[in-house]
Structure formats: C-alpha cells, structure tokens
Amino acid sequence: MTDIRQLLLAAFEIEHREHIDAIRLALGAATEGRAPDWNDIFRRAHSLKGASRAVDLPPVEAVAHRLETLFERINAGDTPLDRDAANATHLALDRIEAYVAALKHEPSPAMPGDAVAALDRRLGAEEPAPEPAPPAPAPAPAAPPLEPSPRAPAAAEPPPEAGAALLRVPAEAVEALARASHDLTSTLGGEAAMAEGLARIARLSADLRGRAETSAAALARGADGADGAGVEAARRDLHGLSAALSGLVREANDLARRHVVLSNAVDGAAARVRAEAERLALVPAETVLGALARSLRETARAQGHEVDVTLRGLDLPVDRAMLQVLKDPVLHALRNALSHGAEPVAARVAAGKPDALGIGLEVAIRGGRLSVSVLDDGPGPDLAAIAAQGRRRGLLAPDEAADPEALLALVFEPGFSTAGTVDTLSGRGFGLAVVADAARTLQGSVRLEPRQPWGTALTMSLPLSAARRSLLLVEAGGATYALPGADVERLLRLPRDGLPQAMGRTILRIAGADGAEASLPLMPLAELLGLASGSRPQGMLTAIVLRSGAGRLALAVETLRDVRTLLVLPAPAVGADPGLISGTVILPGDVPVLVLDPEGLAARSGLARAGLPPGMSDTPGTMTEAPRSTVRATILVVDDSITTRTLEKGILEAAGYRVVVCVDGQDALERLRAGIEPVDLVLADVEMPRLDGFGLLKALRADERFARLPLVLMTSRGDAQDVARGLDLGADAYLTKQKFDQRHLLDTIGQLL
C-alpha cells in the first residue's frame, strides 16, 4: 500500500504543479491588461480539487474548493479581482505547493490556516471551513498585489514550463531503449567500412582509366605505323587491364553484398529503437485510472451512499499521454454518476435494483477507436429537468420541443447543471464540460444516453494514438486500402471456376482451427466499399480471410500490393463510412491510404448478405449512389488537407461524378476564372490558407459568371454563427464533419444538381 501511495503522490506532484502554474500564468495576464480565461482558471481549480481528493489530501481539497468558488464568482461578475482577491489566491497557491513539497518528508504535514481564512474572508465566510490545522512555525508574509508570494523553501525548485508533458517511466524501459540505441550506433559504425570500400573502388577505377587511356594511345600510334613495339606492349597491358577489371567487379559485388547485410542490420536496430520508444508511451490503463475507484468509494462514503464500483478493460495498453489527459475527465464523469445516480435504498429496492448504486468504468477498443465508458444503474437522465434548465439558460426556446438526443447534448455546456444545490460533489455544472473539452482536445466525441432497463451511460470515443502496425496493402476498385495484419488469418489464390455458388454468392470453404470445415460467403471488397468493381477476370481469384470478433470474413480483392509496418494516424473527420475506417497511413509520395476496420466490414457484409445494395443502409431512403441524371456532373473539391481531398474525391467518383481538386480557396478561384473546365458544383472547406471558404464564397457570388454556381461548405466549424454566416453569404448548404456521412453529402449534392 505504501508503494501505491508513493506512486499516486508522485503523479499528483507533477499534476498539481501544472494546474498551479497555469492559474498563475492566467492571473498574470491581469497585470498586463489582458483578460484572463476565467473558464480555464476555474477548471484548473476544479481539477486540482478532484485530484487532491483522489490521493486523499483533504487540506488541499479544502483550499482548492474555495479557490474554485472564488473564481466562479469573479467569472460571474459577483466579485472583483482586487488586491485582496489576488493576495488570497497567491497565498493559497503557495500554501498548496508547500504542503505537497512537505509530503516528501512527513506523511501528514500541517496546512497553515491562513490561506483558508483569507479565502473565507474574501468569500464572506459562506464556504464551510475545515477544522483549522496547527499554524506553521513561521508563516510566509502575504504576497503583494497581483504578484506571487514567496514559495516555501521545500518547494523552491523551479517548476516545469506550463503545459510541458511530463512522463514517469520504469527504469528498465529506459535501459532497454538505451541498449537498443547503443546497438543502432554500433551498427551504424559499419558505414565507415563501407565508405572505405567505396573509396578503394574509386581509386582502382581511376587507375584503370589511366591505363586504358595509355593503351588506347599506344594502339593508335601502332595503327599509324609509328610504334610497332608499342602495340605489343599495349596488348599486354590490355590483358592486365581485363584481369584488373574482373577484380574490380568482384570487389564491387562483395561491397554490394556487405551493403545489403549492413542495411538489414541498420533496419533491424532502428526497428528495435522504435519499438522500445513506442513501448514507453503505452501503459495499462489501470496505472492512471485504477486509483479512481478508491477515490469514488471514499467520496460515496463521505456522502452517505453505498456504491459498487466495477472496472473492466483496464489492462488495455493505452498511450500514456492520452491517459493523463483522460484522468480528470473520467474522475468528473464518475463523480457525476454518483451525484445523479444516487437514490434512496427504498426506491432502488422498489425498482428491483440492488441496494448499492452500481457504477462501472470500461475501457475497450471498438471500431478501431478507444472507448471509455462510465455506466451507472441510477434513475437515468431527467429529460424534463434538462429541458427546464435549458430554457432557463436560453439554450432552448420557451416553446421548443427538443428531441432526447439534443437535450442530452446540453449537459456538456459549461455551467449546465440540474442539481438543486452546490456542494463539493456537484452543482456547478462544469464536470461534464471538462469531459467534453477533453474529448475535443483528443479529437474525439462524447455522448450521454440512457441505459436499459435503467441508468445512464457516458461514453467517450477517441482516436487511438498514432502507432506503427503491420498492414496488408490491397487494391480494390482501382484504389489502395490497408487491412490490419494482425486480423489477417489467410491469404488464398483459388481458381474461380472451382468455387461453389449459393444464393448468387461465391462460397469459400475452409477448415477451422478444430478441423471442421466452414463455409464463408466471399464478398468483393470493392462491392462492400460501394466502388465500381473491375471486370471479372477468368482464372485465379485472390481472397483474404479476416478475423472479426468471434467470427471470420472472406474478402475478394483485385491485387495484394505489399505488407508493411507503417505509422497509423487517427481516422480523418470524413470518410466513406466512419464505421469502416480505423485510421490513415501515408505511403511514399504523400499518398494517403485508409485503414479498414474488420468489424465494420463484417457489419457491412451482413447488410449485403441480407440483400441490401452496397452503400445503402436498412433505413428507407438512404441510398448513396448519385442520381442518374447527374452521373457525369463535374464537382470541384477544395480542401487544404490531402487526406480529406482524397476521401471526398473517392466518395464522389464512386458515386459517378467527375471530380477536380484544389488545395485552397485562392487556387480554386483562379482555376474557375481560367475556365479550365466547366464546373457544376463546388464543395469547399472553410478553414484554409490564403483564401478560406467564406472568402471563396464571397468572391464567387460577386462574379456574375459564378453567382448561381452551387456551393456546399463542409467544415468542422459547426457553430450556429458560422452556419448563419455561410448561408448569409450565399452557400447552398453547410455540412459539418462531426455529423458527416456520405449519404447526406450525396443526397445534398443530388438535390442541388
């Protein structure tokens, strides 16, 4: 237990410095006449309070609770940031730093009561003060106005830069990386021998060239009859020259062989360095999130509630930096589940629930993304209370009837809370806002929804951190795609004529691990992706058997391109189908390739086997193919992201459109004015260099030639003001990437054309 405690305190020591330094930097903006970001300052204090509770430091929690109350009042305009408020804030931050530094030397140091007293005086003594701790032997004097007070000697070492990423890694992992680096350095030493061999070949080549020129001159003189004896000597020299050339060829071949061996050794050593470096960043989720269960149980006991906490999937390796970002948001989500899920025991028994509130934390990989879920079996979301609070805050019109999904999205607004009172657990409405901010920071999303038969589920869907993975590159529909190598079970080359047919589908019969034969429908990958399949050649067929969940999937592809270990980047914001794409890789020449998700392919394969056309869901009226009357319309795609351009181009070309692309608004404007080709519609991003989407739209509407040219804006900026601005400038449609799917895009284009 002592070792775990020390590990938690070591992590808190880094975390509390980051929060305190960020608060100080933000407050320092006031001295320069710049307005601080009070929302960020408040969240820092809020996170500091939650982190101190997680490591069982009540004195720090008490001070942080008063700080967040003070910042909340300053942000609301109820309390000014005057000298007393600034002095009290800096004194409180100094006392927290000194207290944490003293933990290295004693388990329960004294927290001077002057910081709490100063904050209580500023707050009007409305916040309940904890029992006063014994005063420090020599309290530091109060800080001057808007200047940090002197730090205690124990905390005098300079803090890290604000926002710096700090990681604690096992010593053996660092040693393994050092060994791999040493191996790489030693292997690279062979380059010196290679350089010496090349220099020797260069010298021999120069010598042979001189001898060849001398022999050629002697032969020329002999041909003129001037030097008969020289001709014979030149012939002997040529024989020697031939032997020397043979030796040169042998040495060159030997050098080439050694170069291949050296290159392979360098690649292997570099791969070991890369693997060890990546291993440093991946740790089990339990190392960061595991301590939150104890914190939640202690909080429940303090609130007089019984709770059963269940942890699942915390052995999953996750990027360490991502876990550090998720720690506070997950703690807020757990506390929110406790606050809003707690019910009287009698009510739980009457509903058929266990006496204790059940709260679960689950970490999993779903659809190629990291899923972090907080679940409870409480009463579930109170939609009526959420709607009432939304109307009070002006987020809903008085007579507006919002659907449940829209209502549940309101809870992530800063300051939104349905709690009746404010306490140390809830009521301020910033816990879920912290969760939403973290999801956006990690380029993910968060969703709150009711569970059946009761309870609430909060799920963050996040991209996996970039990592190198073995991938199988295949060609389908004339395009290249990547499949996770770990999910490839078999590669087969089979005669087409010998394969059985059933219900219009080719069947692949293969033996399972238990020896039993299994029959799998063979689905063309191009068909699953909604692409135009090439002609069906006679002869051999290339098939891939993928593992998908508990089952298997057989795919037919046109070509097997390569097997490579590549850096997999997060999936882009748009794509043919978010369920099919788990990431992106960049091939040489800046060629983006989509990494397909076997789970998504299996789901799409199930729809196809059910008789639905590719690119069409089981919901009526959702076909993805272009209207026949617009099959050869030309669309200009404008986006500064090569991945997004390629994806949109692929979607539109698969639907039958002709597509041209431009890298930004200025490039598109110049191309349109040059009249290189007739364009029927423009699909443009908003945020681009040189000329953004709004500027392009304004320029086109001011030109008589393009005033009626349909233009669709598609961007990650989905704010109501941005949408209104785009439509006011004359955009025919405004699509957001967060809610993008190809059916909506193609339907919109079909209506405009």
Q: Give 47-92 pLDDT, tens digit per residue.
A: 888 888 878 888 888 888 888 888 888 887 888 887 678 778 878 8
Looking from the CA of 403 toward its CB, the CA atoms found within 13 Å total 2
**269: pLDDT strictly greater than 80:** no
**Confidence band of 152 (pLDDT split at 50, 70, 90):** very low
**128: pLDDT strictly greater than 50:** no
Q: Is residue 36 part of a domain?
A: yes
Q: What is the DSSP letter of 580?
A: T
pLDDT for 338-384, tens place per residue? 988 888 888 998 989 988 899 999 998 876 678 999 999 999 888 88
**Confidence band of 458 (pLDDT split at 50, 70, 90):** very high
What are phi and psi for residue 489, nearest 5 degrees? -95, -40
**How large is the average pLDDT for residues 317-334?**
84
**How large is the average pLDDT for residues 271-278?**
70
**598: pLDDT strictly greater than 60:** yes
The pLDDT of residue 144:
35
Q: Is residue 688 part of a domain?
A: yes
Residue at which a domain ends, from 264, 283, 302: 283
The pLDDT of residue 700:
92
Same domain as 487, residue 416? no
What are phi and psi for residue 751, nearest 5 degrees? -70, -35
Distance between CA 372 and CA 458 in Å, rounded? Answer: 8
**How large is the average pLDDT for residues 95-113?**
83
CB 487 within 8 A of CB 550: no
The three-state DSSP-derived secondary structure of 99-112 is: HHHHCCCCCCCCCC
Residue at which a domain ends, from 399, 433, 462: 462
Question: Strands 591-596 and 479-484, how do they pair?
Answer: parallel
pLDDT for 588-597, tens place per residue? 777 888 888 8
Q: Order of strands across the sheet with 551-557?
A: 488-495, 540-548, 551-557, 517-524, 505-511, 501-502
The pLDDT of residue 630:
37
Same domain as 521, residue 394? no
Same domain as 512, residue 599? yes
Same domain as 594, residue 562? yes
Q: Is residue 164 part of a domain?
A: no
**314: pLDDT strictly greater than 80:** yes
Same domain as 120, residue 193? no
Q: Is residue 614 part of a domain?
A: no
Distance between CA 15 and CA 288 in Å, rounded? Answer: 12
Residue at which a domain ends, from 580, 609, 638: 609
Q: Give the percent of the chain with pLDDT over 90.
A: 8
Distance between CA 731 and CA 727 in Å, rounded? Answer: 5
Q: Is residue 619 part of a domain?
A: no
**408: pLDDT strictly greater than 70:** yes
Q: How far apart are the first and last CA of the chain?
A: 68
Same domain as 434, residue 316? yes
Same domain as 293, residue 275? no
Same domain as 264, residue 312? no
**Confidence band of 613 (pLDDT split at 50, 70, 90):** very low
**How large is the average pLDDT for residues 705-734?**
82
The pLDDT of residue 261:
77
The pLDDT of residue 635:
93
Q: What rounded mean pLDDT belongs to the chain? A: 75
The pLDDT of residue 606:
60
**Confidence band of 132 (pLDDT split at 50, 70, 90):** very low
pLDDT for 411-437, tens place per residue? 888 777 766 555 555 545 567 888 888
Within a 10 A sphere around the Cβ of 725, how many other Cβ atoms?
17
The pLDDT of residue 12:
80
Q: Which residue has the higher pLDDT, 196 or 495?
A: 495
Residue 384, Cβ density class (10 Å: 0-12 exposed, 13-18 middle, ≥19 buried): exposed
The pLDDT of residue 620:
32
- Quote the domain boundaries for residue 588: 467-609
The distance of Cα 592 from the centroid of its chain, to the nearest Å, equals 17
The pLDDT of residue 225:
56
DSSP element (H, E) containing 601: helix 598-609
Residue 539 to residues 304, 341, 494, Cα–Cα distance (Å): 73, 63, 8
Q: Is residue 387 part of a domain?
A: yes
Same domain as 414, residue 350? yes
Q: Where are the alpha helices (DSSP H) in 393-538?
A: 404-410, 431-441, 525-528
**Confidence band of 234 (pLDDT split at 50, 70, 90):** low
Q: Which two tokens stand for residue 10?
A: 């070591």
Q: Is residue 165 part of a domain?
A: no
**How large is the average pLDDT for residues 451-467?**
82
The pLDDT of residue 330:
92
The pLDDT of residue 669:
92
pLDDT for 560-571, tens place per residue? 988 887 777 766
The pLDDT of residue 359:
92
pLDDT for 655-702, tens place per residue? 778 889 998 899 899 899 988 888 999 999 888 888 888 999 999 999
Q: Give the percent of the chain with pLDDT over 70.
A: 73
What's at 607, amino acid-wise?
A: L
Q: What is the DSSP letter of 679?
A: -
Range of weakest confidence among 41-50, 52-61, 126-135, 315-324: 126-135
The pLDDT of residue 278:
65
Same domain as 649, residue 572? no
Same domain as 302, residue 277? no
pLDDT for 618-654, tens place per residue? 333 333 344 434 346 899 999 887 767 777 787 787 7
**Confidence band of 709 (pLDDT split at 50, 70, 90):** very high
The pLDDT of residue 572:
64
Domain of residue 306, CATH code: 3.30.565.10
**Confidence band of 221 (pLDDT split at 50, 70, 90):** low
Q: Where are the alpha helices (DSSP H) in 304-382?
A: 320-341, 345-350
Within a 10 A sphere around the Cβ of 275, how many other Cβ atoms?
14
**How large is the average pLDDT for residues 533-554?**
72
Q: Which two tokens stand for residue 389?
A: 């609070």
Cis peptide before 112 (omega within 30 of 0): no
**614: pLDDT strictly greater than 50:** no
Q: Is residue 444 part of a domain?
A: yes
Q: Which residue has the higher pLDDT, 41 or 742?
A: 41
**190: pLDDT strictly greater than 60:** yes
- Looking at the 3D structure of the chain, how many domains does it have? 5
**Confidence band of 282 (pLDDT split at 50, 70, 90):** confident
* Closest C-alpha among 696, 694, 714 to residue 706: 696
**331: pLDDT strictly greater than 80:** yes
Range of weakest confidence among 396-400, 478-482, 489-493: 396-400
Same domain as 476, residue 448? no
The pLDDT of residue 629:
40
Domain of residue 31, CATH code: 1.20.120.160
Measure the CA angle with vertex 595, ends 486 and 508; round to 5°.
Answer: 60
Domain of residue 636, CATH code: 3.40.50.2300
Distance between CA 313 and CA 365 in Å, rounded? Answer: 9
The pLDDT of residue 159:
36
